[in-house]
């Protein structure tokens, strides 16, 4: 479901993206609870102009605020949710951290109320282990979580993020440490999936979600849900976890939390109709840790 030719430059430890947000195959919450209390205030939604309809903002997945200070504002998302991109589109990409629980649109957003604050994306990097030369097939398990899919990216925002209607800074999420998911049995633990995508299973074909600029299922802002791990990701167990069927095929990049700590990024589901397990990119691996720590210490690419 990607739209443009790949144009990315390898810079130091990451592919520097001067490219634009494309639709992402997984990440939001099926059968979740609306975040009416703004409990997950550091989880945001990406919006891209002209993504679905010319002249309108389009829903382009979720992200998580991981740094929010005078030295920089950084949000984490899935690598494939930012690829392929171009500089003009990147500079028109916006992020909001409003829970948006009073709205019922999806895919296209004709007008955002003045009360909904958005933040511009000024720079982005993909993990260098994300293969930008091979098409990403949303409904192909091995294409989505196989070799060459280190599925994490970072975005720099143009100003510090505040709670809606206030000047209070949003607290960024802490990130799991190296080996933090190496426990005896992850299936005994409880995690929380957060995101802005569809809240129930897609009705009919995948393409029916385009009809009239609306999805065949329901959207109602940021949702969250307690989930469990079915298993590590098979042959990709060193990089992915398999979750119970709780995430939507229309929203990658949202976080998987253990308590207040982000441990993974939603990457893919195995069915376009959503009634399937979801796959989460692990952040406790050496590869993910090296990427995130380098760029948090380095600052945005020049």
Note the pLDDT of residue 189.
86
pLDDT of residue 57: 77
- Supply the pLDDT for residue 289: 98
> 247's torsion region: left (phi>0), alpha (psi -120 to 50) or beta?
beta
Helix (H, G, I), strand (E, B) or coil at 50: coil
- Would you state the structure tokens that stand for residue 170, as one six-digit string? 């949003």
Structure confidence at residue 207 (pLDDT) = 47
Q: Which string of DSSP letters, residue by residue, matches 16-37?
A: EE-S-----S--SBTT-EE-TT
pLDDT at 172: 98
Cα–Cα separations (whole angstroms), residue 177 to 101, 122, 197, 292, 293:
32, 27, 28, 11, 11
Give the pLDDT score at 247. Answer: 64
The torsion of the CA quartet 197, 198, 201, 204, rounded to 10 degrees, works out to -110
Which regions of 153-260 does DSSP assign to beta strands (E)? 153-157, 174-175, 191-195, 223-227, 229-232, 240-243, 255-258
What pLDDT was estimated at residue 108?
A: 59
CATH topology of domain 9-298: Thrombin, subunit H (2.40.10)
Residue from 256, 280, 253, 278 nearest 124 by CA:
253
Q: Mind listing the pLDDT tens digit of every residue in the chain (302 residues)?
A: 333 322 232 233 233 332 323 333 444 577 788 999 999 999 999 988 777 777 777 778 899 999 999 999 999 999 988 887 667 777 788 999 999 888 766 555 666 777 889 999 999 999 999 998 887 765 566 677 888 889 999 999 999 999 998 999 999 999 999 999 987 677 788 899 998 876 766 555 544 544 444 445 667 889 898 888 876 655 567 898 888 766 665 678 999 999 999 999 998 765 555 556 778 999 999 999 999 999 999 999 87
> What per-residue confidence (pLDDT) applies to 78?
93
Quote the pLDDT of residue 254.
92
State residue 15's pLDDT score. 32
Q: In residues, how long is the chain?
A: 302
The residue behind tokens 């599925």 is: 151
Tell me, what's the pLDDT at 24?
35
Contact between 288 and 76 (Cβ < 8 Å): no
| CA–CA separation, 29 and 300 (whole Å) | 30
pTM, two decimals, is 0.84
**Contact call for residues 267 and 252 (beta carbons, < 8 A):** yes
Would you list the domain boundaries of the chain? 9-298
For residue 198, which of 294, 61, 50 has the smallest C-alpha distance? 61
- C-alpha to C-alpha distance for 188 and 223, rounded to whole angstroms: 23
- Find the helix or strand (DSSP H, E) in which 267 lies: strand 261-269
72-77 vs 9-11, strand pairing mode: unpaired
Tokens 């600029």 belong to residue: 213
């Amino acid at each position: 479901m990607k739209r443009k030719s790949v144009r990315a430059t390898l810079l130091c430890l990451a592919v520097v993206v001067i490219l634009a947000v494309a639709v992402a195959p997984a990440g939001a919450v099926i059968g979740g609870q609306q975040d009416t209390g703004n409990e997950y205030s550091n989880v945001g939604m990406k919006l891209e102009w002209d993504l679905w309809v010319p002249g309108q903002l389009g829903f382009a997945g979720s992200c998580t605020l991981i740094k929010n200070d005078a030295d920089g504002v950084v949000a984490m998302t899935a690598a494939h949710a930012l690829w392929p991109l171009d500089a003009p589109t990147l500079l028109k990409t916006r992020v909001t951290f409003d829970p948006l629980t009073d709205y019922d649109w999806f895919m296209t957003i004709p007008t955002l109320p003045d009360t909904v604050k958005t933040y511009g994306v000024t720079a982005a990097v993909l993990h260098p282990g994300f293969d930008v030369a091979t098409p990403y097939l949303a409904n192909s398990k091995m294409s989505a979580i196989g070799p060459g899919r280190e599925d994490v990216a970072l975005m720099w925002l143009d100003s510090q993020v505040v709670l809606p209607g206030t000047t209070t800074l949003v607290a960024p999420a802490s990130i799991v440490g190296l080996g933090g998911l190496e426990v005896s049995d992850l299936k005994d633990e409880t995690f929380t999936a957060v995101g802005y995508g569809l809240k129930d299973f897609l009705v009919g074909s995948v393409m029916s979600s385009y009809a009239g600029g609306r999805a065949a299922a329901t959207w109602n802002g940021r949702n969250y849900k307690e989930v469990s791990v079915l298993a590590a990701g098979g042959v990709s167990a060193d990089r992915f976890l398999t979750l119970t069927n709780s995430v939507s095929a229309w929203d990658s990049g949202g976080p998987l939390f253990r308590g207040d700590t982000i441990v993974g990024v939603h990457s893919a589901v195995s069915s376009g109709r959503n009634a399937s397990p979801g796959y989460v990119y692990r952040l406790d691996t050496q590869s993910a840790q090296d990427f995130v720590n380098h760029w948090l210490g380095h600052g945005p690419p020049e």
